Amino acid sequence: MQVGIAVAAIAVLVGAGWLVVREREARYRPDLGPGERLGLDVSHYQGVIDWQRVANDGISFAYIKATEAGDWVDDTFARNWEGARAAGLEVGAYHFFTLCRTGGDQAANFLRTVPPDADLPPAVDLEFPMNCSARPEPAALRTELAVFLDTVEQATGRTALLYVEDEFDEVYGVLDAFPQPTWERSLRTRPSDSRWVIWQASDTARVDGVNGGVDLNLMSTRCC
């Protein structure tokens, strides 16, 4: 019985330690240099957001998921766009690039969904999780991505940002092939290269007005 009590006590301590770590991660905010700002990226996964509370919690910009593939539109995009703007945040939109549709189809979907007066440049999300099962040849993928980028950049007059998962880039060599500035994921460690203009510093941040953890980003003075 004493052994059982000891095991139970250890389990409680381990559990408490895990909760402390999670709480520390949730409260993490990177130190800001001169002119740097904090922002969020959100989609329908965050549900209903109280954007005024977000703004009051030190957040000044938001990237909002707009589209995916050639016809899918995030059903919270319009509400989040209007709410974030009304709360005084700068807003930008991002597109999840699927491997199963042409770059032209995807660009058309993005451009007919996103208002033309965005404060921030468009962004494209390139990763395997939640993508379709197709795996085109690298040259074919880069051709379709070039069509998407050229179409969106000509229509908006802004250079798009690239958010590229490491495994995706290993397969498709996107970062070497395209000179666009990057939105870099590097949890709790400031990126060391000079190409990034937005840094995703946490994916479990606690921000007032958002239910659950949310992606926390830092904007460089090089943006945007």
Q: Are 93 and 118 in contact (CB under 8 A)?
A: yes
In angstroms, the CA 26 to CA 179 distance is 33
In angstroms, the CA 177 to CA 144 distance is 13
Reported residue count of the chain is 224
In angstroms, the CA 24 to CA 181 distance is 30
Please state whether beta strands 90-96 and 123-126 pair in parallel, antiparallel, or not at all (unpaired). Answer: parallel
What are the catalytic residues?
A: 41, 127
- Which tokens in the block code for residue 136? 């085109």
Q: Are 36 and 218 in contact (CB under 8 A)?
A: yes
Q: Is there a cis peptide before residue 224, judged by omega within 30 degrees of 0?
A: yes
